[in-house]
Amino acid sequence: MRIIAADTVVTGPGRNFVTLRITTDDGLTGVGDATLNGRELAVASYLRDHVAPLLTGRDAGRIEDTWQYLYRGAYWRRGPVTMAAVAAVDTALWDIKAKAAGMPLYQLLGGASRTGALAYGHASGRDIPEILDSVRAVRAEGYRAVRVQSGVPGLDSVYGVDDPTRTAGTASGGHPRPHEETWDTAAYLRHIPRVFEAVRAEFGPELPLLHDGHHRLTPIQAARLGKDLEPYDLFWLEDATPAEDPTALRLVRGHTTTPLALGEVFNSVYDYGPLLSERLIDFVRSAVTHAGGVTGLRKLLDLAAVHGARSGIHGPADISPVGMAAAVHLDLAVHNFGIQEYTRHTAETLEVFRPSYTFEGGALHPSEQPGLGVDLDAEAAARFPYEPAYLPVNRLLDGTLHDW
């Protein structure tokens, strides 16, 4: 089974997505997600200009060899652009292999280890009453685990509450500028424990609650937040400190029993290093899309298992239904599953991508269709052109640029 075409599809059904579609000489097609939010065209070029020409004529069944060929063979290995491209090729080849076998992907990964993948939804609000309403709404949608993000008194626009697709007007040539949010760590640290106190009091002890610190705290600030949140028994505190310095987590870990999650901005198993070997985190957050595909995630989740960490695969709306489907197959198959983030895609996105996974009883379930179980409608994709968009940036009240 030889690869005869590898087409990169860039589409913007409400937000931008990059998808690789591989076709084989026996007529099978496979899809892989390569969406890197805010830097989409860099990955599209990497795929079109540097990867697709190498794929034609290769044996579609040699997934590990192709992974190594694109990873080691590039010499300039790793990095978010490279690894999103590798992810797309890898995921598309797994889709093809599973279709050729006539099996849903999870069967090739070892079969089901559970009946479904517990998913968490997003609740947020500018103040506590809004947050309580939002948690109620998320539960009414069927979720049995909820991430809670809050506005901060004195700040206009905060991660997780404000619309992340906002822009701040246009620069020359009509190109948008990133929206600017504001930040005050002291105000946040004072406020967040009150939010979780109120949510716990309202919804009782059993509801799994999660929170994303989105890389904003120093180690000692993160340690304090973890301690302050202990009475509210979080499922996890995510990205309490910027991810690139694993030594920060030693300090945080030494002070708090709040479980820690990290890794959505990582792009390979190697980024985790001491975070896993020293047991500094409880959950690994890499997405199939950003960390080398099904093969990349499989390597990571096996290493995590050795060090007692579980999966918490990244699943915001900027992971396409293709990336989400791949995650759901892994979630079902791996032993050390923790939880799956699941943000529903818009109707426009679902016109282009037709996933067959389902969300029932608070859990995600892959379909029994052979492969990933996602069709890409190329005509619908062509109706939604790419539009440049950025993630926001974040500034302290005195204007200093801070982590977003």
Q: Which residues are catalytic?
A: 159, 214
Q: Alpha-carbon distance 403 to 7, whole Å?
A: 35
Out of Mg ion, ligand GCO, none, which partner does residue 349 contact, by CB within 5 to 8 A per kind?
none
The type of residue at 210 is: L
**Which stretch in 9-17, 127-135, 138-146, 313-321 sits in contact with ligand GCO by CB under 6 A?**
313-321
Residue placing its CB nearer to ligand GCO in the complex, 176 or 316: 316
For residue 95, the partner it binds in ligand GCO, Mg ion, none, with Cβ less than 5 to 8 A by kind, is none
x/- letters, 109..128, toward ligand GCO (CB under 6 A)? --------------------
d(CA 310, CA 117): 13
Under 8 Å between Cβ of 362 and 145 = yes
CB closer to Mg ion out of 61 and 160: 160
Residue with smaller CB distance to Mg ion, 104 or 242 = 242
Full DSSP string of 223-279: HHHHHHHGGG--SEEE--S-TT-THHHHHHHHH--S-EEE-TT--SGGGTHHHHHTT
DSSP, collapsed to helix, strand or coil, labels residue 339 as strand
**Is 212 among the residues that bind ligand GCO (CB under 6 A)?**
yes
Residue type, 320: S
Cα–Cα separations (whole angstroms), residue 62 to 1, 55, 68, 163, 294? 10, 11, 10, 42, 14
Contact call for residue 341 and ligand GCO (CB under 6 A): yes
- Contacts of 156 by beta carbon, 8 Å cutoff, 6+ apart: 181, 182
Q: How many residues bind ligand GCO (CB under 6 A)?
A: 9
In the region spanning residues 186 to 205, those forming contacts with ligand GCO, defined by CB under 6 A, are none
24 forms part of the interface with ligand GCO (CB under 6 A): no
Q: Which residue lies nearer to ligand GCO by CB, 289 or 369?
A: 289
Pick the binder of ligand GCO from 8, 11, 24, 37 (CB under 6 A). 37
Note whether 316 binds ligand GCO by CB under 6 A.
yes
Least distance (Å) between residue 54 CB and ligand GCO: 28
| Angle, helix 80-101 to helix 293-306, in steps of 10 degrees | 100
Q: Which residues bind Mg ion (CB under 5 A)?
A: 212, 264
Nearer to ligand GCO, 181 or 341 (CB): 341
Q: Which is nearer to ligand GCO, 67 or 272 (CB)?
A: 272
Q: Which two tokens stand for residue 180?
A: 């600017």
Which range touches ligand GCO (CB under 6 A), out of 86-94, 102-110, 314-322, 393-401?
A: 314-322
Minimum gap (Å) between residue 367 Cβ and ligand GCO: 24
Give me the half-sphere count of Cα atoms (radius 13 Å) on the Cβ side of residue 92.
32
3-state secondary structure of 58: coil
Strand partners, 6: 22
Q: Indicate whether 271 belongs to the interface with ligand GCO (CB under 6 A).
A: no
The binding site for ligand GCO (CB under 6 A) comprises 37, 212, 214, 264, 314, 316, 318, 341, 391
